[in-house]
């Protein structure tokens, strides 16, 4: 790993994303100290003028013969994951892999590696949006849909877009150590190692909410009228209820006991989703069932007196605070 610079061949194609192409060029081309640790060359199936997806012209001078001399081969993406990689690229990838080159597939570039059979029987990652298609096309590959990258020794794959930076820095760390990877990361102003997986970036649809109760309707109305002052009395009037009834309604709203961090009787494990208030305890106690025991316990419920009205006002203000914060951005 010392001595001459390691050669990195980055495979470009017509319609490539400029960011996808820039990631391996930036990471492996960045200086880790005095000078870069790698010699980067961009190649294509057919050298010449390519167009990026943004319409920028890319002059590529090298063909796939570059892969025959590269220590690391990077496929930074792929134009259409439904279309198999061309035979010429498949053969070049297989040949590079056989002679010991490290083959890296970033984002949809994992599809090209899978087309070449380099991922059969191995774990792999790709962009979450194409994970289902990948699993359908390559059932012999153990797809890891939630990780940022997967290192399987001679082949490395990553999730989409920015995860390519994480993957390339991992390759630098693996070949030249954490200090070299850290210097490159600092130069690029990115974390040298990012925690978590790509599941945190997958859009999660919010379940539709059922018909709101009277308390929720009042809170929804108040959230839309934050330009005027609100109090327990005014909101009770809005709900056409007395202050006492409105306070009782807010107290009787099912709130799991762990929401307040209160664990009576030494109960230490999180309760199951099945907890309820019994009719006899509705006005005097909140009851729950612990997941680890059948023991029940009660938490005294304060009566809606003037002494705790201020606390009720405080809970109301707290419930509205997030909405106020959002509108103030």
Instruction: Tell me the per-residue pLDDT of 24-54, one tens digit each, with 9 for 90 and over.
Output: 999 999 888 778 999 999 999 999 999 999 9
- Distance separating alpha carbons of residues 150 and 119, to the nearest angstrom: 11
- Distance separating alpha carbons of residues 286 and 108, to the nearest angstrom: 53
Is the pLDDT assigned to residue 324 strictly greater than 60?
no
**Residue 288: what pLDDT?**
42
* Contact call for residues 43 and 67 (beta carbons, < 8 A): yes
Where in the chain do CATH 3.40.50.880 domains reside?
A: 6-201
CATH of 6-201, one of 3.40.50.880, 2.60.40.10, 3.40.47.10, 3.40.190.10: 3.40.50.880
DSSP state of 148: S
DSSP class per residue in 134-146: HHHH-TTSEE-TT
Reported for 50-54, long-range contacts at CB under 8 A and 24+ positions apart, including other chains, are: 50/12, 50/13, 50/14, 50/16, 51/14, 51/15, 52/15, 52/16, 52/17, 52/18, 52/21, 53/15, 53/16, 53/17, 53/18, 54/17, 54/18
| SS3 (DSSP) at 188 | helix
Residue 113's nearest CA partner among 70, 81, 136, 145 is: 81
* Contact call for residues 22 and 28 (beta carbons, < 8 A): no
- Distance separating alpha carbons of residues 71 and 25, to the nearest angstrom: 15
**Residue 11: what pLDDT?**
98
**Residue 233: what pLDDT?**
87
Give the confidence band of 203 by pLDDT, cuts at 50, 70, 90. low
For the segment 242-288, what is each residue's pLDDT rounded down to a tens digit?
888 877 776 555 444 433 444 444 444 444 433 344 444 444 444 44
Query: Which has more confidence, 206 or 142?
Result: 142
For the segment 204-241, what is each residue's pLDDT rounded down to a tens digit?
554 555 566 777 788 888 877 877 888 888 888 888 88
**Residue 318: what pLDDT?**
54
| SS3 (DSSP) at 112 | helix
């Amino acid at each position: 790993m010392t001595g001459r610079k390691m050669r990195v061949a980055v495979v470009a194609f017509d319609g490539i994303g400029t960011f996808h192409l820039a990631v391996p060029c930036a990471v492996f081309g960045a200086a880790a100290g005095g000078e870069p640790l790698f010699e980067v060359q961009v190649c294509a199936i057919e050298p010449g003028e390519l167009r990026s997806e943004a319409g920028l012209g890319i002059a590529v001078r090298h063909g796939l013969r570059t892969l025959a001399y590269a220590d690391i081969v990077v496929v930074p993406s792929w134009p259409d994951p439904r279309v198999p990689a061309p035979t010429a690229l498949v053969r070049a990838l297989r040949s590079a892999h056989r002679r010991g080159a490290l083959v890296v597939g970033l984002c949809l570039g994992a599809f090209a590696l899978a087309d070449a059979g380099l991922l059969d029987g191995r774990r792999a990652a790709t962009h979450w949006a194409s994970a289902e298609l990948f699993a359908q096309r390559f059932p012999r590959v153990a797809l890891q849909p939630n990780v940022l990258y997967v290192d399987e020794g001679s082949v490395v794959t990553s999730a989409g877009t920015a995860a390519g930076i994480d993957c390339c820095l991992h390759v630098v760390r693996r070949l030249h150590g954490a200090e070299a990877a850290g210097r490159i990361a600092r130069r690029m102003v990115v974390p040298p190692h990012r925690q978590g997986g790509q599941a945190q970036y997958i859009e999660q649809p919010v379940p539709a909410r059922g018909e709101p109760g009277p308390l929720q309707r009042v809170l929804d109305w108040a959230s839309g009228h934050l330009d005027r002052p609100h109090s327990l009395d005014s909101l009770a009037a809005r709900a056409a209820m007395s202050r006492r009834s409105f306070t009782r309604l807010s107290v009787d709203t099912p709130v799991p006991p762990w929401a307040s961090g209160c664990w009576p009787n030494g109960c230490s494990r999180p309760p199951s989703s099945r907890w309820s208030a019994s009719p006899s305890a509705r006005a005097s106690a909140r009851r729950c069932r612990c997941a680890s025991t059948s023991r029940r316990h009660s938490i005294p419920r304060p009566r809606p007196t003037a002494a705790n009205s201020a606390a009720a006002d405080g809970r109301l203000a707290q419930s509205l605070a997030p909405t106020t914060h959002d509108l103030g951005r």
